Amino acid sequence: QLQLQESGSGLVKPSETLSLTCAVSGDSISSGTYSWNWIRQPPGKGLEWIGYIYHSGSTYYNPSLKSRVTMSVDKSKNQFSLNLTSVTAADTAVYYCARLTVRGGSFDYWGQGALVTVSS
């Protein structure tokens, strides 16, 4: 059974960089035709897709966040990461990592989510 687990700082100061890692267990991040994604959800609001990375390292970011987002993958550790720079209070959210199937165009496995609060 595939499992994803987010980790990282739960409190980030304004203008600093948010960093999260998603550890994948139960299967190799390199297997199959999947992309590895980050999605966020501000408290009490809907879901926003941040972007994806493939095991090859190729990425696609949501244009609304593109200038501030960087994703990376570490195949040796079977994990992928998110950096979001110059954060503001508007970036306060639960951040989820999730696997997207190319065949279905949908997210079949999700992490439990990590709350990140931006505050001084």
Does residue 96 bind another protein (CB under 8 A)? yes
For 99, counting Cβ atoms within 10 Å of its Cβ (0-12 exposed, 13-18 middle, 19+ buried), the class is buried
The distance of closest approach from Cβ of residue 15 to another protein in the complex, given in angstroms and rounded to an integer, is 25
Contact 42, 28 (CB under 8 A): no
- Residue with smaller CB distance to another protein, 14 or 26: 26
* Tokens 């190729």 -> residue: 58
What x/- string results for residues 57 through 76 when contact with another protein is judged by CB under 8 A? ---x-xxx------------
Taking the CA of residue 13 as centre, how many other CA atoms within 13 Å lie in the half-sphere pointing to its CB?
Answer: 2
Does residue 43 bind another protein (CB under 8 A)? no
Distance CA 59, CA 55 (A): 9
- Residue with smaller CB distance to another protein, 2 or 89: 2
Residues in contact with another protein by the rule CB under 8 A? 46-49, 60, 62-64, 96, 98, 100-101, 104-113
